[in-house]
Amino acid sequence: MAKAEDFLRAHLEAHSEAWRAEHDHAMEYWDLRARLKLSLSLFDYIRSMDEHWSEQVRSGGVSWRPDEAVAHSEFYREWLIPLKGIEESLRQLSAKGYPVEEEKQFHAACEAALLAVKLDAGRIHAGLEEFEEGGGRPAGQVLDELRRVRDKSGEQRRA
């Protein structure tokens, strides 16, 4: 009888362990989703502040200031700090069969944040001065062109 009990206990232990690992993966999945939702909320808040300030500048309500532009860029830069860790977690969970629904939205936010970080406030300021003197193109037109280039390159990468 001892051999049958040992056999049964070994299989029950393996059975329990298999479910424990599954539970752990599921908890990783839900934890990552919650963190991504928070991260995306923070990104939306940063973008909202940035868009509000940009609209105020466009409408003439406030003057464009390089220090303000740098501050917005820094918010995006700080938001991007955990990017590699998050991408690794997404990759690992996907490999375990747990694709995360917010992944596409997160990657779109990352692209927008990277674009915002790459903008150089000094060069923008020089461009505004040039535009005020009759040269250059409106910032909205330039940003639209940059978005089209970004979207086009994204389509090419997916193809």
Per-residue pLDDT tens digits for 16-42: 565 455 556 667 888 888 999 999 999
81-98 confidence digits (pLDDT tens): 999 999 999 999 899 888
- Mean pLDDT to the nearest integer, 67-92: 90
* Residue whose token pair is 């830069």: 77
By C-alpha distance, which of 18, 23, 25 is closest to 93?
25
Output the CA torsion 13→19→21→23 (10° steps): -140
Label residue 91 exposed, middle or buried (CB < 10 Å: 0-12, 13-18, 19+).
exposed
pLDDT given at position 2:
67
Categorize the per-residue pLDDT at 53 as very low, low, confident or very high, splitting at 50, 70 and 90. Answer: very high
Percent residues over pLDDT 90 in the chain: 30
Report if pTM > 0.75.
no
User: For the chain, where are the alpha helices, taking DSSP H only?
Assistant: 2-59, 66-80, 83-95, 103-118, 121-132, 139-158
User: 111 or 154: which carries more pLDDT confidence?
Assistant: 111
**What is the residue extent of each domain of the chain?**
2-119
Phi/psi region, residue 134 (left: phi>0; alpha: psi -120 to 50; beta: rest), is left
Percent residues over pLDDT 70 in the chain: 82
Is residue 145 pLDDT above 70, yes or no? yes
How many CB atoms within 10 Å of residue 42?
Answer: 14
